[in-house]
Structure 1
Amino acid sequence: MNGRKDGTRRSMLLPAAQPDHPTCFNQHRGVRSTVFEIMNLLILFTVLSSTLFHTTASAQSSQNATTFALLYGYPLLAWQNYYAPIINEVGANTWYHNRNLQTAADREVVKPNVDTLYSNLVYDLPIQNIEITIPDIPADEFKLFSFYDPYGVNYANVGTSGFYKPGKYLIKPYNRGNGNSAVGLTNSTSSRYVGVVNTPNFYGTILVRWGATSSNLPQIHKYQDACSAFLVPTPDAIVGPAAPPLLQSLIPVYNDSALPAPNVLNLLVAFEPPNPPPQLAAAGISAWNHSYTPPPNVDLDLANATALRQALATTILPSTNKALNNNWTLLAPSTLGIYGDDYALRAAVSLSGYLALRAPFAIYPTFNNVSASNPGNAGVIFLEADEAVLLTFSGKPPVDSQAGFWSLTAYGGDLGSYHLVPNERDVYALGDRSNLTYPNGGRVYGGNSTGEEFQILLQPADVPPPANWTSNWLPAPSGGGNVVPQLRFYGAEEPLEEGTYVYPKVEKIGVITGQGVTVPATGAGSSVDVVGGSVVAAVVCVLACVVLLG
């Protein structure tokens, strides 16, 4: 203690007041000392309170930033699950072709597309550009070369329903060359190239969809073999920081065995975009140091749960869904595949349909709206063993007259993990390339087809309908269970987007057998119950698999 001859104590925070100082309130030393001690205590309390406030505010800020970072980075899990095996097998900047259509035996991809074959290329452009060749393909055959960043943003397309010209294309970062170029497909100043695709960052993917059936696979294989990719050295300087090469050794660091939240944050270190949102740095992500340092006092589990809730909640907002008719909706038709700064929607789509296409290249109507109590499980219909679903189409869906097509695919399984339905006929989808018939036996497509109503029957695979239904029978899970009907329209025309086309009426009925319609004891009727589920159920599969929308 600092003592004085008069017995008063000198404050450690303020100097003792002098008797002749104008701020003295009382010449009595005892009173004066008491006043200053109270002032010191008040100042100390204020300092401690302020420190506590700023500490709490800082922790809350870090918590919110971590939630944002997870929401921002969740699509990278889908990227990892889908593309890491391809990189490990063939490396970057090399075409990887799928040669066979998906069957019920294939379980790697959830809700797979059985309408197309895929070709994939992971591009890696920190040092060099890449040149690809797009082969000459007839106008009446569906082909679409789609360009994505790792977050699933579909920033360019070449093919059906858009610009298509065979030849060589230069793929380069938008900031390589003389200044910054617009992201996407642009004209080339060189006679060597048909066009230039400016990428938003150094890493990304090209996904090619080839319209395929079992009968044209040999021809599709020839088109795949005609695709090429070559690195092109460039002397141009890069505007902005360089990036490390996307080597195979980069991927195993962020493996599937890691917990999802740390995995997402570590993947953000590798794939942080140019000019990242400031919240990423506040969450401890440093692209410059290629590191993630968790801020103190952050509850990662809480941040992860909050991010997932925000992602799935955005899918049920009226502003996110476009109501069509007959309980069919389109999810964010104006922003799907583009997203902008709607990171919640981008994350939600990556959980349920990574690499979605922009309209009109494709649209994916979903049956029945979800609700606040049923997020993430739209269109999941539960069937008893003696129940079926009947879809009545008002007429042929309008798609691109040259190469557009449509399909209805049936999936079965548990919530969050849906696969093709095993059946003896190996029929997984029906559409305009199938032998659909009208009730009078005439073919819906081909011959003297008309525009009248036709129907598709979703009925358990172990309950075959009469012969007159065989061409229109899409098998559902044997013994009943969850079934998910998924419509896909490639080269969709405006009536499909705007809802002026009357979408299929969906009703639950008794199974149709040789003896007619059997009415289940549980009661079948015009209403179709949609299975609910939790946030956890809706996202469980993304940790170990990938869901491609089409």
Structure 2
Amino acid sequence: MKTANFIASFFAGVATARVVAKDTACPAQAATEFAIAYGEPLLSYAHAFSQLPKGFPANKLYANTALATPNQTAIVSPNVDTLYMSQMYDISRDDLIVMVPEVDPNRYYAVSFYTPEGDNFLNLGSLLQTKAGKYLLTPAVTSDTAGKIVTGCKETYQGTVYSPRTLGYLLIRIVLRNQDSDIRAVNEIQRRFSTNTTARSGEPIGPELKATLFTNVSSVVVENLLAFMARFNQTIPPRNGQPVLPAGTTSNLSLAGIVSDGTYRKPDCVDLAQASSATNASITKYSQSPDFINNLSNGWTMLRPDLVGTYGDNYDARTATAVFGYLALTKDQALYPTYKEGFSLGANESYVLRFSGKPPVTDIGFWSVTMYDSRGTLVPNSINRYSLGDRSNLTYSDGTVVYGTDSDAPFDILIQASQPPANWTSNWLPSPSTPGSFKAILRFYVPTDALSNGTYTYPQVTKGAVRK
């Protein structure tokens, strides 16, 4: 999904960013800014819906059975560590049965549930030592159970997952132990996953997941967003009279014109362009602040792990994370550090990433560095290599393999466009043939605390001459 570009285009289309002072004569102005920040990640959900194959219904589990290639551009910065299965779910009328098969406990997999706004409210899988069997997905009826799994209450199911929304996203990731022979084994695991709807008694809850839910009501982008939010507010199930949202959230949305009947009515005093501009400035400032970014060693940074995946009422963090990557996992599942200066090479230049030692992931964890061009597309190259990591044939300078020995000595990854000398081949990650900027994304799955608490020394990045 072209999530990052889609979000960027939304903000680019509003107005030049500047902070707008709160106008006490129009309290709805500030409430509108709040509402935009609250609801903006829904644009990514709308975009995901628009990318479904023609005629592809909701509640249909779709499997990516092959790895991404440079020819595929629909997904920005796809990882080549896992194969995916995905489903936009709708439990507004019926419940959903998710069948989880037996999976080797030493193979990482995650069955991740998300709200449309991108909250990763639950992960089944190897980390949770999930039992094989059927799981029931149903709307939450109390605040206490929303986003949680309850086991042992229904004999037919291993557990009941209580969704905070009637609409959402299901994403299944299964790690590849290598990018060749293991694909067939993962495909077999994929075939044993399934989802099916099952009838639920009671009245329907909110709108169905159909194209009409995303219909534009105005030529003004932000007005469409607010109208879209109003419809999606009806996907929050009632919870025995308890507050559906925090009181402050409900008050601000109401003041902004988000009406309980699922419509948006702009208050007369509100300037939507100004509200969009102010929200853009506020989120941009927040996304660059120490409140959201942790500085790591050697110029690497990371979104604060406690603010990623589940957000509570921190809507600035939710929106800022969606800009970096919609459907981010919680910190126990994955971390996504970035190199602050970015990467750019001239025609005769290279980078060396010197790792201080093997990144400390858990026994079922894994890591990779993946190469993309400036648009987020995998980079074509003569050896069809798009990433390097713990499942690669990395070697130390003396030629011994990094993984397969007990050594934890430093090792290097070479980034350049041209073929290097033979002693670098195993550790070479090809960069784009055209000089300029590109992306080299580091990912850690099932990380230890050392990767986020400052204990681990991140790779030293050195630019130099191309290796010939």
Question: How many Å apart are 1:126 and its aligned residue?
Answer: 1.7
Secondary structure at the aligned position of 1:406 is classed as: strand
Residue aligning to 2:256: 283
Secondary structure at the aligned position of 2:30 is classed as: helix
Q: Matches of 1:61 and 1:469 in 2, distance apart?
A: 62
In structure 2, what residue type is equivalent to 1:281?
S
Instruction: Note if contact 1:100-1:117 (Cα within 8 Å) is conserved in structure 2.
Output: yes
Question: How many Å apart are 1:441 and its aligned residue?
Answer: 0.9
- The answer to whether structure 1 residue 409 and structure 2 residue 367 are counterparts is no
After superposition, residues 481-500 of structure 1 pair within 5 angstroms as 481-500=436-455
Q: Quick one: which of 369, 373, 381 aligns to 2:343?
A: 381
Q: Matches of 1:217 and 1:192 in 2, distance apart?
A: 32
Q: Matches of 1:336 and 1:234 in 2, distance apart?
A: 33
Q: Matches of 2:459 and 2:169 in 1, distance apart?
A: 35
**Runs of 4+ with >3 A deviation:** 257-260, 273-276
After superposition, residues 362-381 of structure 1 pair within 5 angstroms as 362-368=334-340, 379-381=341-343
Secondary structure at the aligned position of 1:278 is classed as: helix
- The answer to whether structure 1 residue 356 and structure 2 residue 320 are counterparts is no
After superposition, residues 13-412 of structure 1 pair within 5 angstroms as 57-58=24-25, 60-86=26-52, 89-175=55-141, 181-212=145-176, 213-235=179-201, 242-251=205-214, 253-254=215-216, 260-272=221-233, 273=236, 274-275=244-245, 277-288=250-261, 290-368=262-340, 379-401=341-363, 403-412=364-373
Distance 1:89 1:160, change over 3 A: farther
Instruction: Note if contact 1:337-1:357 (Cα within 8 Å) is conserved in structure 2.
Output: yes
Question: How many Å apart are 1:359 and its aligned residue?
Answer: 1.1
Q: Matches of 1:258 and 1:153 in 2, distance apart?
A: 29
Question: How many Å apart are 1:237 and its aligned residue?
Answer: 6.8
Residue aligning to 1:9: none
Secondary structure at the aligned position of 1:281 is classed as: helix
Question: How many Å apart are 1:298 and its aligned residue?
Answer: 2.7
Q: Quick one: which of 378, 391, 398 aligns to 1:440?
A: 398
Question: How many Å apart are 1:230 and its aligned residue?
Answer: 1.9
Distance 1:180 1:489, change over 3 A: closer
In structure 2, what residue type is equivalent to 1:282?
L
Aligned-residue Cα RMSD (Å) equals: 2.2
- The answer to whether structure 1 residue 452 and structure 2 residue 409 are counterparts is yes
Distance 1:262 1:202, change over 3 A: same
TM-score by length of 2: 0.87
- CA shift digits 1:39-68 (9 cap, x unpaired): xxxxxxxxxxxxxxxxx744x322222211
Residue aligning to 2:464: 509
Q: Matches of 1:262 and 1:421 in 2, distance apart?
A: 38
Question: How many Å apart are 1:182 and its aligned residue?
Answer: 4.2
Secondary structure at the aligned position of 1:190 is classed as: coil
Q: Matches of 1:427 and 1:263 in 2, distance apart?
A: 42
Question: How many Å apart are 1:418 and its aligned residue?
Answer: 2.7
The structure number with the bigger radius of gyration is 1
Distance 1:153 1:226, change over 3 A: same
Instruction: Note if contact 2:108-2:127 (Cα within 8 Å) is conserved in structure 1.
Output: no
Question: How many Å apart are 1:449 and its aligned residue?
Answer: 5.0
After superposition, residues 3-18 of structure 1 pair within 5 angstroms as none
After superposition, residues 513-524 of structure 1 pair within 5 angstroms as 513=468
Question: How many Å apart are 1:95 and its aligned residue?
Answer: 0.6
Instruction: Note if contact 2:105-2:129 (Cα within 8 Å) is conserved in structure 1.
Output: no
Residue aligning to 1:45: none
- The answer to whether structure 1 residue 470 and structure 2 residue 425 are counterparts is yes
Q: Matches of 2:361 and 2:331 in 1, distance apart?
A: 12
Q: Matches of 2:221 and 2:427 in 1, distance apart?
A: 42
Q: Quick one: which of 359, 376, 381 aligns to 1:423?
A: 381
Question: How many Å apart are 1:139 and its aligned residue?
Answer: 1.2
Question: How many Å apart are 1:268 and its aligned residue?
Answer: 0.6
Instruction: Note if contact 1:284-1:294 (Cα within 8 Å) is conserved in structure 2.
Output: yes
Q: Matches of 2:286 and 2:129 in 1, distance apart?
A: 32
TM-score by length of 1: 0.74
Query: How many residues get paired?
Result: 432
Distance 1:180 1:398, change over 3 A: closer
Residue aligning to 1:5: none
Q: Matches of 1:114 and 1:264 in 2, distance apart?
A: 33
Question: How many Å apart are 1:159 and its aligned residue?
Answer: 1.1
In structure 1, what residue type is equivalent to 2:317?
L
Q: Matches of 1:420 and 1:400 in 2, distance apart?
A: 27
Q: Matches of 1:292 and 1:312 in 2, distance apart?
A: 26
Question: How many Å apart are 1:452 and its aligned residue?
Answer: 0.8
Instruction: Note if contact 1:103-1:420 (Cα within 8 Å) is conserved in structure 2.
Output: yes
Distance 1:391 1:258, change over 3 A: farther
Q: Matches of 1:508 and 1:180 in 2, distance apart?
A: 52
Distance 1:192 1:258, change over 3 A: farther
Instruction: Note if contact 1:283-1:294 (Cα within 8 Å) is conserved in structure 2.
Output: yes
Residue aligning to 2:4: none
Moved more, 149-158 or 77-86: 77-86
Q: Matches of 2:368 and 2:216 in 1, distance apart?
A: 36
